[in-house]
């Protein structure tokens, strides 16, 4: 049994995946709440006068209470919304930062999940064009959002900001470019900001490139975002920025401003520098969580030993996962599953299985050593992206080979490199399909990645390996260890 449990025993790693094969999810906001509680009196009502306020542009659009009739009205509504909040907090600089949507992205799986209701591609021709009635479908397509960000940039460069009556700067990120609309003593101008041209994909990281730029002239930088990723990066970077960071989070009547410097000071340097690693390893939009292991427990166990914090500080320092870091993370996972004495994660898996009282023990045991290695590579890759946020050019390598693979132009998770089960088990799997031609998941052979054999009692089978020449047409069962 110990040997059998060293295999994932499924086409996905069930401790890391949902039943449909998607990434196991966790409540990210639990980490935000934990950081806030650790920060003591970190909630503030006011921020220093003359600061900069940075907006997650797509979050602003998603939070709009109603949809304006035309794209021109939409641009004006968003502009007035961000101006109003900036003036309320007496900020003299405003940054509107948006995502980019390349065809191959580690966020593809999460974006596809959010777009389950479908999408519609719409070209924006003029300010008078009607906004689509199916607004959520419109915003579920990355090309639409990129086009909308471009439209906002053009519309705002023509807007008369001198009517505000104050000196201010509006930085607009669009595609890999950034332009600044400046009002100084009643005179408005538009300029390219070369220091903010970058290859960042996500607003979550790009906003900190803007924060670094703003810190050159502003002592306080407020980031308006409800994403836990942003709070995590902010706490991690506070010591590296010559300004006080604040995260304006929440919606409606539940908004709050978190003084990041207080949180960072309360956690200490060691935990702050490990926080990005802890977050990506325990589950974010691009990486899976461990089933039943939430953010609070993951954080608590990480802080129990200096070796664990050392591993998480190392995670993401470069795009290639270091073997020494992986070894420490294996020990951490054993501890996470209440098997701290186990010398190998597969031993912890066996011991946890023997102790499991659940009707679904495969969900209460750690992943295999092989599956965990792939998860660590994904977490390391995402952590490296976050740790590179102060660089204009990340030059991130293709995610293929870092826990993902590209097939038919789409990115897929590499759950494991071994067969799902020992050959002795796989060879006795057989089916009795009558109508599916053994080409659907309903076929036990097909779902296990196997060709049908003589023991099968199937009809009209299209999944047989009749000759060596036809081998490429059958599901691949070779081990890549």
The pLDDT value recorded for residue 479 is 35
Convert the pLDDT of each residue in 61-108 to its tens digit.
Answer: 888 888 899 999 999 999 999 999 999 999 999 999 999 999 899 987
Give pLDDT, residue 427: 60
Q: How confident is the model at residue 432 (pLDDT cuts 50, 70, 90)?
A: confident
Q: What is the SS3 assignment for 228-269?
A: HHHHHHHHHHHHHCCCEEEEEECCHHHCEEEEHHHHHHHHCH
- The whole-angstrom separation of Cα 38 and Cα 333 is 24
Tokens of 279: 């977050």
Res. 239: pLDDT tops 80: yes
453 pLDDT higher than 70: no
**Other C-beta atoms within 10 Å of 124: how many?**
17
Does the structure show a pLDDT above 60 at 470? no
Q: What is the pLDDT of residue 358?
A: 64
Q: Encoding tokens for residue 315?
A: 């995670």
pLDDT at 154: 96
Q: How confident is the model at residue 119 (pLDDT cuts 50, 70, 90)?
A: low
Which comes out higher in pLDDT, residue 40 or 120?
Answer: 40
Number of neighbours of residue 465 by Cβ within 10 angstroms: 16
pLDDT in tens, 27-65: 999 999 999 999 999 999 999 999 999 999 999 988 888
Confidence class for position 478, pLDDT limits 50, 70, 90: very low
Interatomic CA distance for residues 427 and 126, integer angstroms: 62
The pLDDT tens digits of the residues spanning 131-167 come to 998 888 888 888 999 999 999 999 999 999 999 989 9
Distance CA 381, CA 325 (A): 13
pLDDT in tens, 166-209: 999 999 999 999 999 999 999 999 999 999 999 999 999 999 99
- Report the alpha-carbon distance of residue 67 to residue 129 in Å, rounded: 13
Each residue's pLDDT tens digit, 257-294: 999 999 999 999 999 999 999 999 999 999 999 999 99
Q: In the predicted model, what is the mean pLDDT of the chain?
A: 89
Tokens of 64: 């709009």
Report the pLDDT value the prediction gives residue 113, as an integer from 0 to 100: 59
User: Are residues 123 and 46 in contact, defined by beta-carbon separation less than 8 angstroms?
Assistant: no
Q: How far apart are CA 290 and CA 292, in angstroms?
A: 6
Please say whether the beta carbons of 72 and 113 come within 8 A: no
CB atoms within 10 A of CB 2: 12
Q: What is the value of pTM for the model shown? A: 0.87
Give me the residues paired with residue 44 across strands. 257
Q: How confident is the model at residue 454 (pLDDT cuts 50, 70, 90)?
A: low
pLDDT in tens, 285-337: 999 999 999 999 999 999 999 999 999 999 999 999 999 999 999 999 999 99
Per-residue pLDDT tens over the stretch 401-431 = 999 999 988 899 999 999 888 876 666 666 7
Q: Which of 181, 185, 192, 187 is nearest to 155 (CA)?
A: 181
């Amino acid at each position: 049994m110990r040997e059998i449990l060293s295999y994932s025993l499924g086409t996905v790693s069930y401790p890391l995946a949902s039943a449909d094969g998607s990434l196991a999810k966790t409540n990210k906001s639990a980490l935000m709440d934990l950081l806030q509680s650790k920060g003591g009196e970190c909630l503030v009502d006011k921020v220093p006068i003359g600061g900069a306020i940075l907006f997650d542009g797509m979050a602003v659009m998603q939070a709009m209470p109603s949809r304006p009739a035309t794209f021109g009205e939409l641009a004006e509504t968003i502009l007035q919304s961000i101006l109003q909040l900036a003036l309320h907090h007496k900020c003299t600089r405003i940054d509107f930062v948006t995502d980019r949507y390349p065809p191959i992205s580690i966020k593809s799986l999460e974006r596809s999940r959010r777009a389950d209701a479908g999408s519609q591609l719409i070209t924006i021709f003029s300010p008078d064009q009607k906004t689509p009635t199916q607004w959520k479908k419109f915003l579920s397509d990355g090309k639409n959002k990129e086009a909308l960000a471009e439209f906002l940039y053009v519309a705002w460069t023509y807007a008369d900001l001198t009517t505000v009556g104050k000196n201010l700067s509006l930085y607009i990120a669009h595609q890999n470019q950034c332009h600044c609309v400046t009002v100084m003593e009643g005179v408005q101008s538009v300029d390219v900001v070369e220091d903010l041209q970058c290859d960042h994909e996500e607003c979550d990281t790009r906003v900190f490139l803007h924060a670094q730029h703003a810190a050159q002239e502003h002592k306080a930088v407020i980031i308006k975002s409800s994403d836990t990723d942003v709070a995590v990066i902010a706490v991690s970077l506070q010591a590296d920025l010559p300004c006080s960071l604040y995260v304006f989070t929440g919606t409606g009547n539940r908004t709050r401003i978190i003084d990041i410097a207080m949180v960072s000071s309360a956690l200490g340097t060691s935990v702050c520098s490990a926080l990005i690693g802890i977050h990506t390893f325990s589950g974010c939009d691009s990486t899976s969580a461990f089933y039943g292991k939430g953010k609070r427990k993951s954080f608590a166990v990480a802080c129990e030993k200096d070796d664990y914090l050392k591993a998480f500080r190392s995670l993401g320092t470069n795009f290639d996962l270091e073997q020494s870091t992986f070894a420490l993370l294996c020990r951490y996972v054993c501890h996470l599953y209440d098997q701290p004495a186990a010398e190998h994660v597969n031993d912890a898996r066996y011991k946890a299985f023997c102790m499991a009282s659940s009707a679904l023990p495969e969900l209460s045991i750690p992943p295999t050593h092989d599956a965990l290695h792939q998860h660590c590579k994904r977490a390391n890759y995402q952590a490296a992206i976050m740790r590179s946020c102060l660089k204009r050019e990340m030059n991130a390598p293709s995610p293929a080979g870092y826990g993902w693979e590209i097939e038919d132009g789409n990115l897929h998770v590499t759950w494991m490199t071994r067969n799902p089960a020992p050959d002795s088990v796989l060879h006795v799997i057989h089916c009795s399909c009558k109508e599916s031609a053994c080409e659907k998941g309903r076929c036990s052979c097909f779902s296990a990645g196997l060709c049908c054999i003589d023991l099968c009692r199937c009809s009209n089978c299209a999944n047989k390996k009749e000759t060596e020449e036809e081998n490429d047409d059958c599901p691949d069962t070779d081990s890549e260890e």
